[in-house]
């Protein structure tokens, strides 16, 4: 079994239909997309690959599996967009870093994802922990069932 905890919010169809920026994307948006593709999207790619392998293993006759068996996967995601949340805490970062974020255009995008990866302000971290705790409590039964030994 694999329990995967992602920090990438899954947007609804209506949220995905709305552009994060109007016009040409600011540098902050481009950096966020690059960071997501390097660090976060790999988890989704691995999950898709695992699903494909599981399907192949299930289709093989038992005598040809060579002890291979499907691997259970539970992916958990935050209930809020962490980029948008980070944007709310941008004023708390040191002035020199605020100068950088402003220059890169974090105020011009709805979801400055790159800021959520780099923001280590205590109030933001406390909020992340709070969200994680409530998300886990909300999915308690699902998590408990997945982790149940049997």
Q: Read off the pLDDT of residues 126-141 as tens digits, 9 standing for 90 and up.
A: 999 999 999 999 999 9
At 20 the pLDDT is 65
Q: What is the band of 124 on the pLDDT scale with cuts at 50, 70, 90?
A: very high
Structure confidence by residue, pLDDT tens digits, 1-49: 999 998 888 878 887 677 666 778 888 888 888 888 887 778 889 999 9
Is the Cβ–Cβ distance between 84 and 114 less than 8 Å?
no
Q: Are 87 and 21 in contact (CB under 8 A)?
A: no
101-116 mean pLDDT: 82
Q: pLDDT higher for 107 or 22? A: 107
pLDDT of residue 150: 59
What is the model's pLDDT at position 141? Answer: 95
What number of other Cβ atoms are within 10 A of residue 38's Cβ? 9
Query: Average pLDDT of 88-111?
Result: 85
pLDDT surpasses 80 at 143? yes
**112, exposed or middle or buried, with CB in 10 Å at 0-12, 13-18, 19+?**
buried
């Amino acid at each position: 079994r694999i329990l995967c905890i992602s920090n990438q919010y899954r947007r609804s169809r209506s949220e995905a239909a709305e552009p994060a920026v109007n016009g040409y994307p600011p540098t902050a948006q481009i950096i966020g997309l690059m960071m997501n593709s390097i660090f976060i999207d790999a988890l989704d790619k691995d999950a898709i690959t695992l699903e494909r392998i599981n399907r192949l293993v299930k289709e093989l006759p038992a005598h040809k599996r060579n002890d291979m068996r499907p691997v259970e996967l539970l992916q958990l995601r935050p209930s809020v967009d962490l980029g948008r949340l980070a944007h709310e805490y941008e004023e708390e970062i040191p002035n020199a870093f605020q100068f950088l974020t402003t220059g890169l255009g974090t105020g011009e995008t709805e979801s400055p994802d790159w800021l959520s990866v780099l923001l280590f302000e205590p109030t933001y971290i406390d909020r992340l922990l709070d969200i994680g705790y409530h998300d886990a409590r909300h999915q308690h039964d699902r998590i408990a069932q997945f982790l149940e030994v049997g």
